[in-house]
């Protein structure tokens, strides 16, 4: 069974750490899923955000995203992954380990 790491991001900081963590996980064949909420959705506007594409499955809270005046598209996030907090709950249930930023 493959290992799966879940990452919850509600802060607009630490993008560099998240990218490094995802690269390290990929090197260890660990699947990563990230859910961005609240201020974490602002990270989608950082030019470095696109570095996460291919390193993790990503979804975000559409309510949080829109509350900051943001609009799609976002590199690495499919239209179906503009989601609700229910997706966050699914992530928690599916993962072997869970981190929060």
> Which of 32, 45, 49 has its CA nearest to residue 91?
32
| Domains and their CATH numbers in the chain | 4-100 (3.40.1260.10)
Residues 6+ apart with CB under 8 A from 55: 19, 22, 23, 25, 26, 32
Separation of alpha carbons 52 and 47, rounded Å: 11
Q: Report pTM.
A: 0.94
Separation of alpha carbons 13 and 27, rounded Å: 24
pLDDT digits (tens, 9 = 90+) for 33-89: 999 999 999 999 999 999 999 999 999 999 999 999 999 999 999 999 999 999 999
In this structure, are residues 50 and 28 in contact, taking their beta carbons and an 8 Å threshold?
no
């Amino acid at each position: 069974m493959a290992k799966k790491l879940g990452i919850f991001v509600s802060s607009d900081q630490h993008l560099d750490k998240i990218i490094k963590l995802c690269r390290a996980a990929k090197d260890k064949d660990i699947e990563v899923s990230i859910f961005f909420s609240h201020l974490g959705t602002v990270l989608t506007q950082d030019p470095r955000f696109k570095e996460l594409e291919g390193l993790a499955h990503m979804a975000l809270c559409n309510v949080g995203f829109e509350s900051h005046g943001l609009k799609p598209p976002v590199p690495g996030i499919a239209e179906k992954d503009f989601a609700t907090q229910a997706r966050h709950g699914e992530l928690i249930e599916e993962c072997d380990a869970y981190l929060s930023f």
